[in-house]
Structure formats: structure tokens, C-alpha cells
Structure 1
Amino acid sequence: MQSRLRVQGHPIQPMLVTFPLGLFVSATVFDLTDVAGGPTFLGEVGYWTGVAALFAAAMTAVAGMVDLWDVPVDGTRRTAIAFNLVNAAMAGLFLVTCLVRAHSPHRGATVAILATELVALTAGGVGVYLGARLMRQFDSGRADTGSLDALAGGTVEIARPRP
């Protein structure tokens, strides 16, 4: 499968998915520190990190939907749909936590919010598994994807200085 959204031959969606995942994990760490008795501003940092992650997740979802058009109708399509649904569920849980916190004066985290975020990150772990499975399925059609020649797109030549 060839993605429609590519940068120098590489699909964009697998690159983008790292941003919301990393931001969601960071938001959860900030919230964990806030709940554990850390400085109160960390709860607000966790909130705004979650908001940034939601914007990154929206961009990733758009790229995922564009890529879904080209997925063959077989087990790969089911895996791709499950991958997108799991990631949407993770983002949805974080959206709920952000909406709950939006109206509080300090936007600090609570134990219930932290528990919801941990459930969302568990779903994100399933998404990572499904994403890795998709990449293995897409790479199975390529020849020798593990060699350095596959990265270079051909043979590697070394220029030697002339005597």
C-alpha cells in the first residue's frame, strides 16, 4: 500500500502519531505529579499539554482517514480501522478529561481524571500494537526491508579521491 500523504516517500501518518501519544503521556505525568502533591501549576501544564495533544490527534486522524482509502479490503483494512478507532477512543477519553477541567479555576487534576487518563493510555498501548502490526503487514510486500540498501533506495557508492 502506498499512502497518499507522503514526505520523501515515507507516509506521514506514522510520523504524526508520535506527537499525540507523547503529549498524552506527558500530560498524564504532569497530572500524576499534581495529584501526588507536586506544585499546583503542573495540573494546569498537564491540562494544556492534553489540549495540544488533542489538536495533534485531530491532525493524525485526518491523515489516517486519507490513508484508509487505499487500504486493501482484507485483514489489513480491519486492522487499520481498529487502529483508528482505538486511537479515537484514547483521544475521546482525553477530550472528556479536558472538558471536565475546562471550567475549574486552576484546571488541576483529580484522582478520577488521572484514572481516566491511565485507561486512555492503556488504549493507546493497544493502538501502538495495532500500528506496529500494520507496518509489518505493509512492509511484508517489500524486498529486504531490513538492509541498509533498502534505506538508501539502491546501492551505496563511496566516492574515492582521485590521486
Structure 2
Amino acid sequence: MQSRLRVHGHPIQPMLVTFPFGLFVCATVFDLTDVLGGPAMLGLVGYWTAVAALFAAGLAVVAGMVDLWDVPEDRTRRTAVTFNLLNASVAVLFVFGCLMRSGVPEHGATGALVLVELLGLLVGAVGVRLGASLVRQFDPRNTEPTSFDGFGPPATSVAGGFGRRRSR
């Protein structure tokens, strides 16, 4: 499967998913710090970080829907649909969290809000795992090394010519 949305040969959707997830983690850390007695300003920062993450999640969901058009009707499609549903459910949980704090002065965080956000991050972690398996399945050349071989010398040498393997 080739993604319709690509930059320099790489699919956009896996890149876009990292932004909202990272922002959701930051929002949760800010809110947790606010609940544990940190400055009240951190609750406001957590709120606006979650709002920014929701905008980024919207872009990721749209890119995921575009990519679903090309997924074959098999187990892979079910995995891709599950991945996109998990990402959307994380966004729904954080929308719920933003609505919970809309009536609170300065959009401060509460313990219940932090629990909702932690649940959202748990669901998001499952989504990240599924997304990583999809990327490995569709682009095997981008797999990470599974041993310390990835830290070794390069396979080609400029002095030895391009494209030729060095003997070890």
C-alpha cells in the first residue's frame, strides 16, 4: 500500500500522529503538575496545549481517512481502521476533558480531568503500537535495527566507490 499523502517518499499520516500525541502528553503533565500544587498558570497552559493537540489530531485524522482509501480489504484494513478509531477516541477523551474544564476559573485542572487524560494516553499508547506495526508492514526498509549493528560503520565507503560493499 502506498499512502496518497507523502513527503519525500514518506507517508504524512504517521508523522502527523506524533504531534497531537506529544501535545496530549505535555497537556497531561501540565495538568498533573497543577493538581499536585504547582502554579495555577500550568492548568491554563495545559488547557491550551490540549486545544492545540486537538487541532493537530484533526489533521492526523483527515490524513488517516485519505490513506484508508488504498488499504486492501483484509486484516490490514481492520488494523488501519482500529488505529484511526483509537486516535479519534483519544481526541474525543481530550475534547471531553476540555469541556469538563470550560466552567472552571482559568481552565484549571482537576483530579477527574487528569484521570480522563491518563485514560486517553493509555488508549493513545495502544494506537501508537498499532501504527508502528502498520508502518513496519508497509515500509520494511524503514525498520529500526534490532541489534547493535545499526551503530556500526556504514555499508559503503566513498573511497571504495559508491554502491559497493566493503569486505569485513
TM-score > 0.5, shorter chain as reference:
yes
2-structure distance, mates of 1:30, 1:146: 32
CA shift, 1:100, in A, is: 1.8
Matches within 5 A, 1:53-72: 53-72=53-72
Equivalent in the alignment of 1:52? 52
Q: Which residue does the alignment assign to 1:118?
A: 118
Aligned to 2:134: 134
Alignment CA distance shift 1:146-1:88 (3 Å): closer
Q: CA deviation at 1:104?
A: 2.2
The CA deviation at 1:102 is: 2.0
Q: Displacement of 1:123 after TM fit?
A: 0.1
Could you list the structure 1 runs, at least 4 aligned residues long, displaced by more than 3 angstroms after superposition: 144-147, 155-160
Contact 2:2 2:70 in 1 (8 A): yes
In structure 2, the residue matched to 1:90 is 90
1:85 partner amino acid: L
Q: Unpaired segments of 5 or more residues in structure 1?
A: 148-154
Secondary structure class of the residue paired with 1:81: helix
Corresponding letter in the other structure for 2:121: L
Shift of 1:159: 7.7
2:117 is aligned with 1:106 = no
Sort the Cα spacing of 1:117 and 1:146 in 2 relative to 1 into closer, same or farther, 3 A: closer
| Identical-residue share of aligned pairs (%) | 66
Tell me the distance in 1 between the aligned counterparts of 2:132 and 2:9. Answer: 19
> Match for residue 164 of structure 2?
none
Partner of 1:6: 6
The answer for the alignment partner of 2:28 in structure 1 is 28
Q: Report 1:148-163 matches (<5 A).
A: 158=158
Q: Counterpart in 1 of 2:42?
A: 42
* SS at 1:67 equivalent: helix
Alpha-carbon shift at residue 99 of structure 1 (Å):
1.4
- Once the 2 structures are TM-superposed, how far is the Cα of residue 146 of structure 1 from its aligned partner? 6.4
Deviation at 1:157, TM superposition (A): 7.5
CA distance in 2 between partners of 1:41 and 1:159 (Å):
57
Q: Match of 1:75?
A: 75
Matched to 1:135, the amino acid is V
Partner of 2:15: 15
- The answer to whether the Cα contact below 8 Å between 2:136 and 2:143 also exists between their aligned partners in 1 is no
CA distance in 2, matches of 1:44, 1:37: 14
Q: What is the CA distance between 1:136 and its match in structure 2?
A: 1.9
- TM normalised by structure 1 equals 0.86
Q: CA deviation at 1:132?
A: 1.0
TM-score, with structure 2 as normaliser: 0.84
CA distance in 1: counterparts of 2:122 and 2:144, whole angstroms: 30
Deviation at 1:116, TM superposition (A): 0.3
| Inter-partner Cα distance in structure 2 for 1:131 and 1:156 | 31
